Structure 1
Amino acid sequence: MTDPISVPPAESAVLAQWSSDALTPLVSICCTTFNHGEFIRDAVHGFLIQKTSFPFEIIVHDDASTDGTTEILEELRSIYPRLIRLVVQDENQWSKGCRLLANHVFTLARGKYIAVCDGDDFWVDPRKLQLQVDFLETNQDFVLCFTDSQGVIEDTQEVTQLTARRQDLSSLELQSTTSLFTSSACFRNEIKIWPDQLTRAPYGDLVMWSLLGDFGKGKFISEAQPIRQRVHPAGVHSMQSKNDQVANAVITNALLAAYRLEERESALALLHVQNIILLSIKLYGLRLGTSMLYRALRKLRLVKA
């Protein structure tokens, strides 16, 4: 496993590699963090080591951290004032039910492309962004690309296998909430208004892939080194029980089904209903799962009461 980068390049060295004006970034790196004081330097350092021919900006959204994360970010911004933009919440948005932070972060992005990374994950390959942008620039039918990821158990530093897709994805596969490694993704900045009714979906990343699937396909970039995803007690997803993960996926698919119905996209709504069927049976068993599904369908007005 590659160790986190301890000494990133100076700001002048990052700016010097670019062939165009840094005031017009091609890529906006968007990082969300909350109480990642132990990890946030590694995340930001992973952005700063990127070797690109194009300018990028770094937008970090701090969801009202209380463990010193904000102070670390302020220090980093003072060292890299032309690269880092910092958004600090006064109140924690996650605890208020806002799961999809797109309207707090993505709407600030000036880049043609957006790359995302959680504050407790980090990149180790300095070619990551260049590989992804080079592909998207020459393949207009793809809306996003992503790389592999390795899980790192924080206590032991043991590398663990993570579950997600490691292959190219069709538009339909993205729309139907296929899971991929979130902190590895780079996508076109196509969605200017993110639907308010989806902001409370437990899995905001699945919402993102579904909406982006409206604009194209997904490419797995196998040439890049895997990103690192930490598995630790404060991890929102990795430490959830399997039942909780399935239940959150059911809720996310239900919200997406309702949204697609509102948009008169019944075929896509039925895809999410199909996911709910399979997930409900997995979580509750055939009889109870079928009963809960029927109630969900009635609520969505797909069957009569």
Structure 2
Amino acid sequence: MMNTEHKRPLVSVSCITYNHAKYIRQCLDGFIMQKTNFSFEVLIHDDASTDGTAEIIKEYEKRYPEIIKPIYEEENQWSRGRRGSAEFNFPRAVGKYIALCEGDDYWIDPNKLQKQVDFLETHPEYSMCFHNAVEHFEDGSQQDRLFSNIKDRNYSGYEIYNEWIIPTASTVFTRNVIKSKIYDKICSTPGIKYGDTPLFLCAAKEGLIYGMKDIMSVYRRHVGGLILCSSLEDKLSLNEHDMAIYKCLGNKYKKIVFHKICKRCIYLYISMDKSIRRKYNYLLFDALNKDLFYSISYIIYAYFKYRLIRCKVRL
């Protein structure tokens, strides 16, 4: 960490957090340990945590006032449909580049920011870069593993959307991405449930995207994680999310959006209890209406896969 006094930050780190008292120190330490030849700021949005998260952030704010710049909410904004990064952190970011890391994830390489900024500075045709991350299961149910097997190469928006390969805490992108008209459109479109994938797709429209094989962050899976969709209605709301992406980004993503919705509808319908299936008959009709041939093919595949799993359970 260099002396940042009186120097305009080259990078703005956006960190959103809610009830992350168990994890936030590790997250903040990952920021502070960065070794850079440029200054950076850490913009934190604490969404009215009730577990002592804010008190921990205040400790770091007092020790590193030139770096740690928090907003402490008195009322939870997520529950009101407001997004921490897009509405509270991005508007106050002054850096040429923006990095992301939520309060329950953390960085493990002190040279992470320097490596990514060096790449973007020397390759102006790129709008974003990202890297490998460790996927850590907090409950110990599974061993740590790579989040995805990222290689040193370019990645297309189509590939990113189709495979969900980008750990959010691994990304650094240019400020132009959030200043683009398409990003403004996404932020104002009803139905967008999560902001990371649409943001990455905006980056793909603004320039090239590069993946790095270096393992430089940890993605933590736990019950309180922001992306967990536990209820049936939560899972179905992802259909609205995908359709909103299609409406914003156009025909380039139409096929993959429809296929995602078809698979989700069919899987949920086949796997749900028979007693409530009639209520959700529309799921099958929705899938068939979007892509008849693909849906029929997937129905056959999903049905036999589900039957095979049930047979194994009985054995």
Fold conserved (TM > 0.5)?
A: yes
Residue 286 of structure 2: aligned partner: 292
Distance 1:282 1:141, change over 3 A: farther
Q: Which has the larger radius of gyration?
A: 2
Q: 2:213 aligns with which of 219, 222, 244?
A: 222
- Which residue type is aligned with residue 244 of structure 2? L
Distance 1:288 1:267, change over 3 A: same
Residue 244 of structure 2: aligned partner: 255
1:197 has 2:188 as partner: yes
1:71 has 2:55 as partner: yes
Shift of 1:256: 1.1
1:142 has 2:126 as partner: yes
- Aligned residue pairs: how many? 275
Shift of 1:295: 6.7
CA distance in 2, matches of 1:149, 1:55: 24
CA distance in 1, matches of 2:77, 2:174: 25
Shift of 1:200: 5.1
- Which residue type is aligned with residue 228 of structure 1? V
Aligned partner of residue 30 in structure 1, secondary structure: strand
CA distance in 1, matches of 2:234, 2:149: 17
Residue 186 of structure 1: aligned partner: 172
- Which residue type is aligned with residue 170 of structure 1? S
Q: Percent identity?
A: 32
Shift of 1:282: 3.9
Distance 1:93 1:15, change over 3 A: same
Q: How does 1:1-305 map to 2 (within 5 A)?
A: 14-16=1-3, 22-99=6-83, 101-156=85-140, 159-161=143-145, 163-164=147-148, 166-167=150-151, 168-174=154-160, 178-190=164-176, 191-192=178-179, 194-195=184-185, 196-198=187-189, 201-223=192-214, 225-237=215-227, 239-241=228-230, 247-260=236-249, 265-284=250-269, 289-293=283-287
- Which residue type is aligned with residue 135 of structure 1? F
Aligned partner of residue 95 in structure 1, secondary structure: helix
- Which residue type is aligned with residue 180 of structure 1? I
CA RMSD of aligned residues (A): 3.0
Shift of 1:210: 1.6
Distance 1:112 1:120, change over 3 A: same
Aligned partner of residue 143 in structure 1, secondary structure: strand
After superposition, what is the alpha-carbon deviation per residue over 1:22-53, rounded to whole angstroms, capped at 9, x for unaligned?
A: 53111101100001111111101101111111
After superposition, what is the alpha-carbon deviation per residue over 1:53-74, rounded to whole angstroms, capped at 9, x for unaligned?
A: 1111111111111111111111
Is the 8 Å Cα contact of residues 24 and 55 (structure 1) preserved in structure 2? yes
- Structure with greater helix percent: 2
Aligned partner of residue 221 in structure 1, secondary structure: strand
Distance 1:24 1:202, change over 3 A: same
Distance 1:107 1:176, change over 3 A: farther
Is the 8 Å Cα contact of residues 14 and 89 (structure 2) preserved in structure 1? yes
Q: Output the TM-score relative to the length of structure 2.
A: 0.76
Q: Output the TM-score relative to the length of structure 1.
A: 0.78
Aligned partner of residue 129 in structure 2, secondary structure: strand
- Which sections of structure 1, spanning at least 5 residues, go unmatched? 1-13, 298-305
- Which sections of structure 2, spanning at least 5 residues, go unmatched? 271-280, 292-315
Residue 9 of structure 1: aligned partner: none
Shift of 1:189: 1.0
- Which residue type is aligned with residue 292 of structure 1? D
CA distance in 1, matches of 2:122, 2:231: 39
